[in-house]
Amino acid sequence: MTAAPGPAAVPRANTTAATPEEFHQRVIGDAAAAVRGLTVAIGERLGLYRALAEHGPVTPAGLAEHACIDRRYAEEWLHAQLSAGYVEHCRGTDRYALPAQHAAVLADPKAPTFTAGFFTALRALYATEDALVEAYRSGEGVGWAEHDPCLDTGMGSFFQPTYEHKLVPEWLPALEGVTDKLAAGGKVADVGCGVGHTTLLMARAFPQATVHGFDYSAEAIGLARQLAEEEGLSDRVTFEVATADDYPGQDYDLVTLFNCLHDMGDPGATARHVHKSLHPRGTWMLVESNACPEDVCCDCAPAGKMFMSLSAVMCLPVAVAQDGPHALGNHSGEEAFRSIAADAGFTHWRRAVESTAQIVYEARP
């Protein structure tokens, strides 16, 4: 296999003109956001945003009572949310409200814009700081298993709203002939499935299909099995600990990799295994971030900024820890994936559908 291109392009410089004071204030704003992240995780875990959405406008004492927390902490947490513009203060009262449009981002896990869940992964990411400092010096990696399991659930929450609203209605129908096969009872492997949100969505939408989820994280697979049980889907979905270049099964009609090929140290070996495990008329669905090396600049979209930072502290170190030949990072771009697929024997490649944050590629043998 020829070497897959990594993110070799030279990033463009940050050309935003700012006075030293403006830049100083901007970085202080980033520092505030970094600390605020912890208040969002706390709010999500304790149901504070949900309590505000349900019972607001509320006083700190009211929030404390509804969410079963201490009143002084409720007050201080509300001040942090107010300073961020996340909640509003009702003039002339001691009450705070979460506007409906903010509730869709912070309080409603079913909304396509729900984002609060991601913040619960910060604990896992920040806790690897020592290991990352060491890895940056040595060139070694920081494996997925070196993180607290809240990385599995937090990252799962990050992508879940998009999957929930796009996978079945938009992405699968964008692939040629796939939904017909699944409706008739096809066989699916969801590789690097994490806690299994995508696996379960496909199993629920296509009751005749058999869906297998594979991930090398035992914690993630344990949580996925639990979710399948809770959703009553254990009869048609299985979850197994397996690596992407060695999962069991043959003649899959569809093999999916959602936001994980770039986390693998040897994406070429994964692509070859996908090719081998597919039915000759099967489809490989690859979902990756809609970011590429040319996007590395200061004015990329918020999702792009998020991907770039995640790559530096999670995606790249996780891939490096797998000792493979290509640690891609999460914004290596379409050409890297296309050439990995071609080298593995895929003859058909298509950008099936895309949004600002994600691209769905279709590859066939």
Contact positions vs ligand SAM (CB under 6 A): 144, 155-156, 159, 192-194, 197, 215-217, 220, 243-244, 258-260, 263-264, 322
Shortest Cβ 337–ligand SAM spacing (Å): 15
What span, in angstroms and rounded, lies between the C-alpha atoms of 244 and 259? 13
- Cβ-closest residue to ligand SAM? 194
Is residue 351 classed exposed, middle or buried when 0-12, 13-18 and 19+ CB atoms within 10 A define those classes? middle
Q: Which residues of 254-288 are buried (b: 16+ CB within 10 A; e: fewer)?
A: bbbbbbbbbbbbbbbbbbbbbbebbbeebbbbbbb
Distance (Å, whole) CA 277 – CA 305? 35
Closer CB to ligand SAM, 107 or 260, in the complex = 260
Instruction: Give min distance, CB of 338 to ligand SAM, in A.
Output: 20
Closer residue to ligand SAM (CB): 39 or 256: 256
39 or 128: CB nearest ligand SAM = 128
Residues 171, 351: Cα–Cα separation, whole Å: 11
Give least dist CB 34 to ligand SAM, A.
21
Peptide bond into 173 cis (omega under 30): no
In the complex, the smallest distance separating the C-beta of residue 321 from ligand SAM, rounded to whole angstroms, is 9
Q: Which is nearer to ligand SAM, 56 or 213 (CB)?
A: 213
Closest approach, Cβ 19 to ligand SAM, in A, equals 38
Residue number, 59 or 332, with CB nearest to ligand SAM = 332
Residues 198 and 181: their CA atoms lie apart, in Å, by: 17
In the complex, minimum distance from the CB of residue 230 to ligand SAM, in angstroms, rounded to a whole number:
17
- Pick between residue 98 and residue 286 the one whose CB is nearest to ligand SAM: 286
Cβ neighbors of 254 (< 8 A, separation 6 or more) are 175, 178, 181, 182, 186, 187, 188, 189, 282, 283, 284, 285
